[in-house]
Amino acid sequence: MADAGQISREWVQALVPEEARLRCRYKRRGQRIVEYTVQLEIRHQSKWQPVVRFDNAHGFCHRDEIHPDGTQTKTPVFVGDANETFTRAIKEVQTNWETHRSRFLAEIKS
């Protein structure tokens, strides 16, 4: 049964149509975010591929660099509470998506 006081939301923002997008989702109680995911996805070989993800799964806020072979490099991110970290993660992906994409594509070629 869903938590009656919990609100969930998900959206996708096209950074470059059919090339790069930002997927965001969160769950909150009142004004407090309790769970979130911010993920950059790029279109590669006709499929959307996750490249970098910020979330607070596993009990802490972190960034996952996702590699073409499916492995992930996890880095803790501490910039305040989940609300602040969620907002900063969105801005980071919007600002640096090309760098993340370049890293991912370079790993495919190596």
pLDDT 10s digits, 54-110: 999 888 899 999 999 999 999 998 777 899 999 999 999 999 999 999 999 999 987
Q: Which burial class, exposed, middle or buried, applies to 30 when counting CB atoms under 10 A from its CB (0-12, 13-18, 19+)?
A: exposed
Domain that holds residue 96: 9-109
Residue 2 inside a domain? The answer is no
Residue 69 inside a domain? The answer is yes
Residue 90 inside a domain? The answer is yes
Domain count for the chain: 1
For the question of whether the overall pTM of this predicted structure is more than 0.75, the answer is yes
Residue 22 inside a domain? The answer is yes
Residue 1 inside a domain? The answer is no
Q: What is the pLDDT of residue 6?
A: 93
The arrangement of strands across the sheet holding 47-55 comes to 6-16, 20-29, 32-44, 47-55, 62-66, 72-76
Residue 4 inside a domain? The answer is no
Written as one letter, the residue type at 72 is Q
Residue 26 inside a domain? The answer is yes
